[in-house]
Amino acid sequence: MFNQSFIKKSVLTASVFLYSSVVLAQKTPLNILPSGHLLVQAEVEGKKGNFIFDTGGGINLFLGNFSKNLAPKESYNFLTAFRATGEKMTVPLFKSKEVIVNGKKFKDTWYATHDMEIKGIDGLLSLPMFYDTEFIIDYTNKELIFPKEKLSGNKVLDIQLSTNADQSLDISTYILLNNTYRINVLLDSGAGNDSFWLSDRLMGTLGIKKESLQLIEKKSEFDPAIINKFYKGSVDAVSNSFVKVDKPNVLFVEGLIYEGKTSINWLGKKLGFNLKEKKIHILD
């Protein structure tokens, strides 16, 4: 899921996403913020907005004044979930009758709301409604693409799906740390670029002493009473069968509920997603 502290400065310096964008051949522009966050235009119940495209968000989330203009206003449905840091969140659940993204209509999509305002951002769009729709994130041409032909190619990365009652959906994959240790990581475009979080439980495995790392403490954006602890360091390498990143900066996160969590930009410049078949195609 996106982190407000990572994107706030980027949003303030980014121009407002243009509503006049023309959808051509199932392509729509992605506004890639300096932080690496992906901003896409969508229409929810006839109301246009700008949304972070967040593969780690789990469920569509609409913020502040945007959410207040959507019906219904109350719901007895709710979702209890955990942020990557272990922070428990219980949010009301609603269903949008129609969401239009890149000219395609998605019906009866679950979403949550939160009373938060972020300048230039109306919420986030996540993966559940794209389960039956292949899509491509093109970092070079800054486009979100719904391909007309089925995705194919030689570089195919296996992914795993995590869901809660088909309301939320996250994706993960296996990577190697230091060419040796195989771990499963959440794939989170909402983390921006070049983000590598590892569980603090892995420090012992990697022979890293906590005392040798820089401690960073951050208050939760959702509950200021919660303070999360991050230990800044590096590892020798992060890799999979197709790509390797040498000496990446990493954050060891106290209480991380995953073995790891990473951004997606390091996987390739053009990524095709087929959630139903649990595949990511590395197209460039």
> Which residue in 124, 105, 121, 108 sits closest to 167, CA to CA?
108
Residue 114 burial (CB count, 10 A): 15
Q: What is the pLDDT of residues 142-180, one digit of tens each?
A: 999 999 999 999 999 999 999 999 999 999 999 999 999
Could you tell me whether strands 27-29 and 143-145 are parallel, antiparallel, or unpaired per DSSP bridges? antiparallel
Three-state SS sequence of the chain: CCCHHHHHHHHHHCCCCCCCCCCECCEEECEECCCCCEEEEEEECCEEEEEEECCCCECEEEEHHHHHCCCCCCCCCEEEEECCCCCEEEEEEEEEEEEEECCEEEEEEEEEEECCCECCECEEECCHHHCCCCEEEECCCCEEECCCCCCCCCCEEECEEEEECCCEEEEEEEEEECCCEEEEEEECHHHCCCCEEEECCHHHHHCCCHHHCEEEEEECCCCCCCEEEEEEEECCEEECCCCEEECCEEEEECCCCCCEEECCHHHCCEEEEECCCCEEEECC
pLDDT at 8: 43
How much is the pLDDT for 255? 95
**pLDDT score, position 21:** 40
What is the C-alpha separation between 280 and 51, in angstroms, rounded?
A: 22
What's the angle, vertex CA 124, arms to CA 60 and CA 25, rounded to 5?
95
Torsion of CA 139, 193, 171, 215, to 10 degrees: 180
* 223, two tokens: 């509950």
Q: What is the pLDDT of residue 114?
A: 87
- Dihedral of alpha carbons 148, 53, 119, 62, sign: positive
| Tens digits of pLDDT across the chain (284 residues) | 555 444 444 443 343 443 334 434 489 999 999 999 999 999 999 999 999 999 999 999 999 999 988 877 789 999 999 999 999 989 999 999 999 999 999 999 999 998 888 889 999 999 999 999 999 999 999 999 999 999 999 999 999 999 999 999 999 999 999 999 999 999 999 999 999 999 999 999 999 999 999 999 999 888 889 999 999 999 999 999 999 999 999 999 999 999 999 999 999 999 999 999 999 999 99
Other Cβ atoms less than 10 A from the Cβ of 215: the count is: 11
CB under 8 Å to 272, separation ≥6 — which residues? 134, 135, 136, 147, 151, 153, 280, 281, 282, 283
Residues 6+ apart with CB under 8 A from 145: 26, 27, 102, 135, 136, 138
- Give pLDDT, residue 223: 84
| Token couple for 181 | 């240790």
